[in-house]
Amino acid sequence: MAKRTLADFQQVHDPRTILARMEAELKAAQAESADAVRIKEVIGTLSARLHETAPPKWALSPEPAKKDSPGVPTLFLSDLHWGEVVHPAQIGNVNSYNLATARARLRHTVETAVNLLRIVDAKMSYPGIVVPLGGDMISGNIHDELQATNELNTMPTVLDLYEHLCGAIALLADTFGKVFLPCVSGNHGRDTRKTWKKDRHHTSFDWLLYQFLAKRFASDPRVTFQIPDGPDALYRIYGLRYLLTHGDQFKSGDSIIGPLGPLTRGNQKKLARNSAVDQAYDVMLAGHWHQYIHLERLIVNGSMKGYDEFAYDSNYGFEPPRQGLWLTHPKYGITYRMPVLCETPKAPSSSAWVSVK
């Protein structure tokens, strides 16, 4: 290799050379951003500027419009795994799942949430409802076994889910008047072999689904979407700051405490990262683990799919299909915690055991 001279060193560190390199990097970044803009132009959601994707005023007001309001409800929807098939015979007949089941459970979840909130406040004096969409909305083809057993392929699945989410969002808007939907992608809806760190959302059918939904409700002032390009969504209800993430970043649970270890450690790391740039939060919301957990600073959602062959084969504890529901009060923070069962509980059936005399 040729020996470098002083002139070579000076050329590399010459301000004009550095400036030219920075201009080239800026041009490349602008081109990448322009690609994302063109995608949104095609979909029709380019008009959703930053001020329109922030939490709406009704969720930020220091006092609810109605003084006797119990606060703002949150219905957490994630891990629907739309399109996946769970065979009851393979898991001791404790659960089954397919498209027909998914449609019935989504409807039951929304209607049950409305009924529970009506029990809390018969007047329904809520200023609106927050509905985080936490990813893994579809099953996807990320594993060979899913490719072989999913009821539909990816794109028809997205269209089927889109239709039913449109109905759910419209029902919530009619019931509560306002709906705010922060959205993040999961790991199942990706079209890459592994989940990308760069362009995570733009390689996810979850993100595409959210964009279609935002386009559908673009002319409805009652409905507001927040669809960030990164893996986390930050928003506030009154003074309480939430961070929504899918939860697949956290790894290595164990058989004793399950996901609590990685989730707690991950939450602390994420909070330290955000605090360093003045983006601290109070409560982290996550899905992915299919286990409902509600702690003071951490809420982990259950799964609409429920118990499956992977959980059964891994000897995980049974978890019924359920989604999170709670209230955020302007003075008292999170108050009522009401996990919603996604279907009417069935009476336990006795197993027929073979006996030999």
Tell me the two tokens of residue 210: 């959210």
Say how many residues make up the chain.
357
For residue 323, pLDDT beyond 50:
yes
Tell me the two tokens of residue 69: 């309001």
* Of 119, 112, 130, residue with least CA distance to 169: 130
- The class that CATH gives domain 73-341 is alpha beta
Q: Determine how β-strand 179-182 pairs with β-strand 322-329.
A: unpaired
Which residues have C-beta within 8 Å of that of residue 139, sequence separation ≥ 6? 81, 82, 83, 84, 146, 150, 157, 188
Q: What is the C-alpha separation between 319 and 11, in angstroms, rounded?
A: 64
Compute the average pLDDT of residues 152-178.
Answer: 96
For residue 60, pLDDT beyond 80:
no
Task: State the DSSP code for 318.
Answer: P
Please report which confidence band the pLDDT of residue 50 belongs to, taking 50, 70 and 90 as the band edges: very low
Compute the average pLDDT of residues 326-345.
Answer: 95
For residue 306, pLDDT beyond 70:
yes
- pLDDT at residue 350, as a whole number: 62
For residue 236, pLDDT beyond 90:
yes
Query: Chain-centre distance of CA 5, in angstroms?
Result: 55
Q: What is the C-alpha separation between 310 and 313, in angstroms, rounded?
A: 5
For residue 298, pLDDT beyond 90:
yes
For residue 32, pLDDT beyond 80:
no
**Bridge partner residues of 76 (DSSP):** 324
231 within 8 A of 189, measured Cβ to Cβ: no
Name the residue type at position 218.
A
Please report which confidence band the pLDDT of residue 37 belongs to, taking 50, 70 and 90 as the band edges: low
Concatenate the DSSP letters of all residues of 126-144 into one string. Answer: -S-EE--B-S--B--SSSH
pLDDT in tens, 250-266: 886 666 777 889 999 99
For residue 52, pLDDT beyond 80:
no
Tokens 């003074």 correspond to 239
328 within 8 A of 74, measured Cβ to Cβ: yes
- pLDDT at residue 184, as a whole number: 96
Q: What is the C-alpha separation between 302 and 184, in angstroms, rounded?
A: 16
Which residues have C-beta within 8 Å of that of residue 66, sequence separation ≥ 6? 125, 127
Compute the average pLDDT of residues 200-228.
Answer: 95
* Span of 71-85, 153-167, 343-357 with lowest mean pLDDT: 343-357
For residue 58, pLDDT beyond 80:
no
Q: Please name the helix (run of DSSP H) or strand (run of DSSP E) that holds residue 75, with its range, or none.
A: strand 72-76
Name the phi and psi angles at 75, rounded to 5. Answer: -110, 110
Q: What value does the CA radius of gyration of the chain take, rounded to a whole number of Å?
A: 23
Q: Is the pTM of this model over 0.85?
A: no
Q: What is the C-alpha separation between 90 and 85, in angstroms, rounded?
A: 11
* Of 225, 169, 260, 273, residue with least CA distance to 49: 225
Q: Is 83 left (phi over 0), alpha (psi -120 to 50) or beta?
A: left
Q: What is the C-alpha separation between 46 and 342, in angstroms, rounded?
A: 34
- pLDDT at residue 15, as a whole number: 67
